[in-house]
Structure 1
Amino acid sequence: MWGFMKEKKYHHLVRNYIEQKTDFHFIKELGVGSYGVAYLLIHSKSGNQYVLKRMKTKHLCKKRLHEKFQQEISMLNEISIPNIPSVYTQGKLQDVPFYIMDFVDGKTFEQAIFKDGETFTLAQSLEITKQLLELVITIHEKGIVHRDLRIPNILINEDGLHIIDFGLAAYLNPNLKVDKINNPKKVENHISDLYFVGHFLLFLLYSNFTPTERKERSWQEELQLPIGVIDYIERLLTLRSPFSNTKEALNSIPTDFLKKT
């Protein structure tokens, strides 16, 4: 209860700070994650929209999370490409760190699939995955692995795909041995991002799937995919020998089923 009241109090502090001390106007709270809270702002002069992300107050005494928060800011500055939000400014409000970044005006694939009911064919799904891998390669070339490439963190608009939320990102560790990996979600190399890309691709494919029986089966059985596509996804998910790097994963997309959308 105390934690809730503390967060609510800080919410009002942020709102007052934005309205009284900056060139922005507060619009609304966008969402709450495990470590932070995001707000939508609009710049009073340019009319451009931005996002303020701040650390949750309950993490104030956790040095490691402070370091992770600052690392997230540093990574966004290091990546510096159009498909990733850029940091506008950063600071602290009553010892709680925050930063303001670009707002990506687009639709997440979570919204597209579960709210709007959009469906994706095999060819469309592979083309979108190809575009995502091209973007992920750029991030990896900066020495960074995202480690949270889920459908809420991948957006699409007229400019293409965008990746947000680098809260779980890490610097690539080149010394990790593939055969020593126990949890592909958390590993600090390309395996993690490819694992999430595999699940992302499955979400796209399942958007076009209608169950014909009540018994739950494996995705390999339910989706009735070509064997080459099954093999490809299984390598992304480390069910088979994983790809040695993201470029190999991109070059290995089953081209027989890949068509421009």
Structure 2
Amino acid sequence: MHILRFIRKTYQYFVDKPLQTGTVLQDSYQVLDLIGTGSYGIVYLCKDLKTMENKGLKQLRPSKQRKRNEVDIFNKEIAVLRMLEHKNMPTLYESFSHNGNFFYVMSYMEGDNLDKQIFFKKKTFNEKESLLFLAHLLELIDYLHKKDIYHLDLRIPNIMLKNDEPFLIDFGLAKHVASDGPVYSRKAIMEMKLQDYYDLGDILLYLLYTTYSSKSKKALPWTEELSLADETVHLLKRLLRLLRPYSNSSEIQTDLHAAIKAKGGH
């Protein structure tokens, strides 16, 4: 297994060379910088030479292009983005192929993701701030679920922060339960919904730990380490499936509102 992984990584290193700065695609998009790389894609900052605006450009890794199913996953991501009309999510402008490579162009979001904000800029959230941030995130997830879209990759690197508002990015693993697509059972759909809810709980825990300083050398469960309002503990336990899981967002909103109120919010 280790040898196969080494071969794959070596192959990717030589094949997945990022585009050079200054490269122009479609006579429209000039590559300015490499933003980052993921398991499926390479993302660039580019300039739209027609509007002179900054845009985001995502390329399917060349090493992934040989397999039809990898290309299909990339196309499904494009299809999901095409459905989005929310100011806190990417806007898709167009998709195209160039010299056998696959790309799409989206709105560019300035700023750092939540991961960098917390671990490099040392941003902290107290309990009330964490709950209010979760309320913003829940609104975004509810928007997706009403469109039968499940993100399935809610992690702090996939949340951008601007003016203390969350912006969702990276829909590479998202699934759209379309009438003309794969037939998902009610159980499978509920499991995808619960996965997004579980991830919300995981993110809430991350935020709550930003103001925690360990007094013990022994690692303890969060229920013992964190001093939280009973309402917050209840909310977390249901999100993380330690108690009966939530079945819809209105149930979460009710408990979230109670937790915010307990911390002196409205």
TM-score class normalised by the smaller sequence: 0.7 to 0.9
Q: What is the rounded CA distance, in whole Å, between the counterparts of 1:77 and 1:212 in structure 2? A: 48
TM-score normalised to structure 2 length: 0.86
CA 155–260 in structure 1, closer or farther in 2 if over 3 Å, else same: farther
Q: Secondary structure at the match of 2:16?
A: helix
Range moving further from structure 2, 137-146 or 55-64: 55-64
Deviations 1:58-113 (A, max 9, x none): 11122222111111111111122111111111111232211010011133211211
Within the candidate set 5, 20, 23, 2:14 is matched to 5
Q: State whether structure 2 residue 72 is matched by structure 1 residue 67.
A: yes
1:175 — aligned with what?
186
Q: What is the rounded CA distance, in whole Å, between the counterparts of 1:177 and 1:5 in structure 2? A: 39
Contact 1:127–1:258 under 8 Å retained in 2:
no
Deviations 1:9-47 (A, max 9, x none): x634x95343xx423322111111011110111223533
2:23 — aligned with what?
16
Q: State whether structure 2 residue 129 is matched by structure 1 residue 118.
A: no
Structure 1, gaps ≥5 residues long: 182-186
Structure 2, gaps ≥5 residues long: 1-9, 178-183
Q: What is the rounded CA distance, in whole Å, between the counterparts of 2:82 and 2:264 in structure 1? A: 34
1:184 — aligned with what?
none
1:83 — aligned with what?
88
Q: Which amino acid aligns with 2:23?
A: N
Within the candidate set 231, 240, 243, 1:240 is matched to 243
Q: Which amino acid aligns with 1:225?
A: L
1:205 — aligned with what?
208
Q: What is the rounded CA distance, in whole Å, between the counterparts of 1:236 and 1:39 in structure 2? A: 35
Contact 1:124–1:258 under 8 Å retained in 2:
no
Contact 2:231–2:255 under 8 Å retained in 1:
no
2:148 — aligned with what?
143
Q: What is the rounded CA distance, in whole Å, between the counterparts of 2:135 and 2:51 in structure 1? A: 35
Deviation at 1:260, TM superposition (A): 5.4
Contact 1:137–1:247 under 8 Å retained in 2:
no
Q: What is the rounded CA distance, in whole Å, between the counterparts of 1:147 and 1:252 in structure 2? A: 23
Range moving further from structure 2, 29-38 or 46-55: 46-55
Percent identity for Structure 1 against Structure 2: 29
Task: Report the aligned-residue RMSD.
Answer: 2.2
Q: What is the rounded CA distance, in whole Å, between the counterparts of 2:96 and 2:89 in structure 1? A: 20
Deviation at 1:252, TM superposition (A): 1.8
Q: How does 1:17-32 map to 2 (within 5 A)?
A: 17-18=24-25, 21-32=26-37
Q: What is the rounded CA distance, in whole Å, between the counterparts of 2:249 and 2:70 in structure 1? A: 28
TM-score normalised to structure 1 length: 0.88
2:198 — aligned with what?
195
Q: What is the rounded CA distance, in whole Å, between the counterparts of 1:258 and 1:80 in structure 2? A: 33
CA 260–230 in structure 1, closer or farther in 2 if over 3 Å, else same: closer
Contact 1:220–1:230 under 8 Å retained in 2:
yes
